[in-house]
Amino acid sequence: MASIKRFKFKLTTEQLLEMLYWLKLIRAFDERLSVLVRQGRVRSGVYSSIGQEAIIVGSCFGLEKDDYICPLHRDLGSFLMKGVSPGVMMAQMYAKATGLSKGRDSALHSGVPELGIFGNTSMLGANTPVAAGIALTFKLEQRRNVVLAYFGEGAANTGDVHEAMNVAAVHKLPVVFICENNIYAYSVPIEKSMAIEDVADRAEAYGFDGVSINGNDVLAVYQAAQGAIARARSGEGPTLIECKTYRWHGHSEHDPAFYRTDEELAMWKSRDPLTTFTTYLRHRQMLSDEILLEIDQRVVKEIDEAVAFAESSPDPDPSEAATDMLA
């Protein structure tokens, strides 16, 4: 496998604590959503990212406003990191008039062009050629922005992903392909959909670097993403980063995930990205009890306020159902 050039991107204590805040906020957002689904409050399908948060936090951290992300159904946290408030995001899941798509879709397809977010596509993998297209625009307009294209290991086997990687390689486009390999595509384990172990191995065949990393280690993701982003910004083209991870919940909140064992889940829970990072910060004397409490209280407050905002927001007005439609 080709190897990524090694850089060490330094972070201050303040930035590391900010990363912890994002990990906790995204975890808390998804945990609350999970409860709200069971209470019948949420109108959207919910595809929990619990267990996978380090991928979004490590890759989105430090992105510029005009950089673009093309997230997955599981990546609500990337919307928050790109600047959507938790309240608006929660209202989106409630399909309220104050949500991103004002209650006009099933909540998961909304994009925010002014924040550099391409709404995710139901056809898995179809977001990656779009990412390559956005990156081509950046190149033609000589902008130094990058695009992060997320996809699962299941989507990695679609033709769209092949075409996107090929065209990005040929034109040296500023795109970082980020595979969230959580081992299952719905109920299908990876060994039933791929004959190789690492999705990252495929990059070499397209002519760029690929690396397979611990997707539960936020700093490993950050280092790999920063290296790939720096190369993309300087005109060196795409990189594929495969993040090995695991989703703690089912494919969606309506999936009890009977296809996996309790032992497997317990093993992955012992690799919790939040616990690992908290322990690391403690070890380095960067995280006191007071700071931890402060972050936890801030997160609870923000999630409570987000739910209150969504609950008190109006439902969409039926007379506006066709407003903003293109055709």
Pure H helices in the chain:
13-38, 53-60, 76-82, 86-93, 127-140, 159-170, 202-206, 218-233, 262-269, 273-283, 289-312
The b-or-e profile of 19-55 (16+ CB within 10 A means b, else e) is: bbbbbbbbbbbbebbeebbeeebbbbebbbbbbbbbb
Task: Name the β-bridge partners of 68.
Answer: 147
Task: Give me the least distance between CB of 188 and ligand TPP, in Å please.
Answer: 7
Task: Give me the least distance between CB of 153 and ligand TPP, in Å please.
Answer: 5
Task: Give me the least distance between CB of 70 and ligand TPP, in Å please.
Answer: 14
Task: Give me the least distance between CB of 163 and ligand TPP, in Å please.
Answer: 13
Task: Give me the least distance between CB of 147 and ligand TPP, in Å please.
Answer: 19
Q: Which amino acid is residue 311, in one-letter code?
A: E
Shortest Cβ contact with ligand TPP: which residue? 152
The whole-angstrom separation of Cα 250 and Cα 121 is 20
Task: Give me the least distance between CB of 142 and ligand TPP, in Å please.
Answer: 33
Nearer to ligand TPP, 153 or 217 (CB): 153
Nearer to ligand TPP, 123 or 293 (CB): 123
Task: Give me the least distance between CB of 106 and ligand TPP, in Å please.
Answer: 12
> Which region, left, alpha or beta, applies to residue 151 given φ > 0 means left and ψ of -120 to 50 means alpha?
beta
Q: Which residues does 74 contact at the CB level (< 8 Å), separation at least 6? A: 47, 48, 49, 52, 152, 180, 247
Task: Name the β-bridge partners of 150.
Answer: 178
Q: Which amino acid is residue 45, in one-letter code?
A: G
Nearer to ligand TPP, 122 or 142 (CB): 122
Nearer to ligand TPP, 4 or 72 (CB): 72
Nearer to ligand TPP, 123 or 321 (CB): 123
Nearer to ligand TPP, 154 or 174 (CB): 154
Which residues sit at the interface with ligand TPP, rule CB under 6 A? 72, 74, 122-125, 152-155, 158, 180, 182, 184-186, 251
Nearer to ligand TPP, 236 or 255 (CB): 255
Contacts made by residues 156-160, CB under 8 angstroms, sequence distance 24+: 156/125, 156/181, 156/194, 156/199, 156/202, 157/193, 157/194, 158/124, 158/125, 158/126, 159/125, 160/123, 160/125, 160/126, 160/128, 160/129
Q: Contact 212/242 with Cβ under 8 angstroms?
A: yes
Nearer to ligand TPP, 202 or 231 (CB): 202
Task: Give me the least distance between CB of 126 and ligand TPP, in Å please.
Answer: 7
